[in-house]
Amino acid sequence: MKRRINFVRSVAACGFLVHLTACVPHVDTRVPEVPIPEQYAGTDMAHASKDSVKTASMNWKDYFADPNLIALIDTALENNQELNIFTQEIQITRNEIGAKQGAYLPSVELGADAGLDKVGRYTRQGAVEESLEIEPGKSFPDPLGDFALGAYARWEVDIWHKLRDAEKSAVSSYLATVEGKNFMVTNLIAEIASSYYELLALDNQLSILDRNIAIQQNALEVVRLKKQGARVTELALRRFEAQVFYTRSLKFEIEQKIVETENRINFLVGRYPQSIKRDATKFVDLIPASLKAGIPAQLIENRPDIRKAELELAAADLDVKVARANFYPSLDITGSFGLSAYDTSKLFETPESMLYSITGGLTAPFLNRKEIKAVYLNASAKQVQAVIEYERTVLQAFIEVANQLSNIEKLKGNYTLKQKQVKALDESVQISTTLFNSARADYMEVLLTQREAMDSKFELVETKVRQLNAAVNIYRSLGGGWRDSSKDVTVK
């Protein structure tokens, strides 16, 4: 009869646990939808998008051929503080994997206890000890010692794969952090290259200013002579002087920009301010590397930020499973084994001093289900958030590449026309000067032509640096640079 009652109780308990697990709230999760076009349409370079050899797969040392720039990038990959901080972040997430792996393994603790127990003689326990003998002719010692040495184990059986899914989530988070570092490497290479090209452009603008100052200074001397001969007015002399002062003032602005650009590069490289080694004379002859964009679908393989978002989505999916498993019963097994005696001399006398125990328990959440439900709903919301973030990252990557492909084409035509403009204005300066010397042109025509010629040369340099930066940006947008700067990642 008693056995039947225990069986009924067990069945009732199991039914109650099943009822609890059936109350898991329903949530909607999402899967990403990324219908990527077959090619980068809308640009003149769409015909080149199916090349099998892609720009993104090029080693950055081959893509950026300038040895001074290569040396800067090499130093930055070693010394950049932000990159080194992120390296420690990778180590932190890697340690999380070990913590999750240990969660589904049995935990064993070793312990040793010692104590004395003195009870009153006229208490129940004292009276019992007074009437009993430990051995023939030997009563309980007073006070009574208690010495123990043993091992204690606990193990949560991962019947719902909750702990293993948590470990897989930690692995995905770790790999996502690695991809985050790869994306940082790509951006770091691009930022140094852009700053370096900007520095070369500033050097060339400074040279343009020096040449224009010399030309304007010569023109000013000619005007002074004409003023002495009463061939021009004082107004003309002052306007020529003002133009020289204006051009000289621009030189200070350019020099300050050079200092700031050098220091920005030094900061990225991880060193205190110093001169940046460079050859500005080759700036005009720099030609962007030939571009082979590949197909849009390859962005998912090449872009570290897309790979990072994909891994974060995988981790979010697993977190939902872990949160759901918290509604289910958990099976805990505990056990202990050791030696215990009232006297240290008898502690190692076995089997008399030996003791052990093992217990299994099946438990399910009851009063704290509201907290578990909130955790589950949050995990589901984060999963949807991760899907949207993944879709956004893919869309942004595609648009960045499409913009840069178009930009490269437009800048190519722009630079050609700027070259023709500079040539025409240089000839105009010579013509206006000749006409002015022969009193056939007004001094304002000379000044205006000189300023337009200088501005056009500045614009030509700016267009050139925009061309080079577009080549840098397309390399970054396609996901280039990180493969040759990252070590193989393995998870044990």
User: Radius of gyration of the chain from Cα atoms?
Assistant: 39
Mean pLDDT across 199-205: 96
Query: Of all residues in the chain, what percent carry a pLDDT higher than 70?
Result: 86
In whole angstroms, what is the distance from residue 233 CA to residue 235 CA? 5
348, exposed or middle or buried, with CB in 10 Å at 0-12, 13-18, 19+?
exposed
Is the model's pLDDT at 170 over the cut of 80? yes
Q: How many separate helices (H) and strands (E) can be counted in the chain?
A: 11, 6
Between CA 254 and CA 257, with CA 255 as vertex, the angle to 5 degrees is: 65
Distance, in Å, from the CA atom of 15 to the CA atom of 412, rounded to the nearest integer, reads: 75
Report whether 17 contacts 381 (CB < 8 A): no
Region 350-376 average pLDDT: 83
Residue partners of 242: CB distance under 8 A and separation at least 6: none
Give one DSSP letter per residue of 239-308, joined into a string.
HHHHHHHHHHHHHHHHHHHHHHHHHHHHHHHTS-S-PPP--GGGTTT--PPP-----GGGHHHH-HHHHH
With 60 as the cut, is the pLDDT of residue 4 above it? Answer: no
Higher confidence at residue 46 or residue 435?
Answer: 435
What integer pLDDT is reported at residue 52 of this predicted model?
38
Q: What dihedral angle (degrees, nearest 10) is formed by the CA atoms of 256, 257, 259, 264? A: 150
Residue 361: pLDDT band with limits 50, 70, 90: confident
**pLDDT tens by residue, 414-434:** 999 998 999 998 888 888 888
- Would you kindly state where each structural domain of the chain is located, as residue ranges? 27-104+161-328+368-485, 107-157+330-363
225 Cβ contact partners less than 8 Å away, ≥ 6 residues apart: none
**Distance spanning both ends of the chain, measured CA to CA:** 54
Measured between alpha carbons, how far is 326 from 320 in angstroms, rounded to an integer?
10
Question: Measured between alpha carbons, how far is 4 from 185 in angstroms, rounded to an integer?
Answer: 69
* Higher per-residue confidence, 132 vs 217: 217
- The answer to whether residue 57 scores a pLDDT higher than 90 is no
Sign of the Cα torsion 373, 175, 80, 390 reads negative
pLDDT tens for 256-311 read 999 999 999 999 999 999 999 999 988 888 877 666 666 777 778 889 999 999 99
pLDDT level of residue 447 (50, 70, 90 thresholds):
confident
CATH superfamily of 107-157+330-363: Outer membrane efflux proteins (OEP) (2.20.200.10)
Mean pLDDT of the chain: 83
List the beta bridge partners of residue 138. Answer: 135
Residue 491: how many CB atoms within 10 A of its CB? 10
Query: CA-CA distance, 91 to 94, in Å (whole number)?
Result: 5
Which stretches within 295-442 are classed as H helix? Answer: 299-302, 304-325, 369-437
Mean pLDDT of 196-222: 91
Q: Which two three-digit tokens encode residue 64? A: 């950026």
Q: Is the dihedral of CA 450, 452, 454, 457 positive or negative?
A: negative
Contact 397, 473 (CB under 8 A): no
Asked if residue 389 has pLDDT above 90, the reply is yes
Q: Domain spanning 27-104+161-328+368-485: which CATH class is it, in words?
A: mainly alpha
Nearest CA-CA partner of 149 in 378, 422, 341 = 341
Least confident of 63-77, 123-137, 171-185, 451-465: 123-137
Q: What percent of the chain has pLDDT over 90?
A: 30
Report the SS3 class of residue 479.
coil
Q: What is the pLDDT of residue 486?
A: 55
3-state secondary structure at position 473: helix
pLDDT score recorded for residue 12? 45
Strand duo 133-135 + 144-157: pairing: unpaired
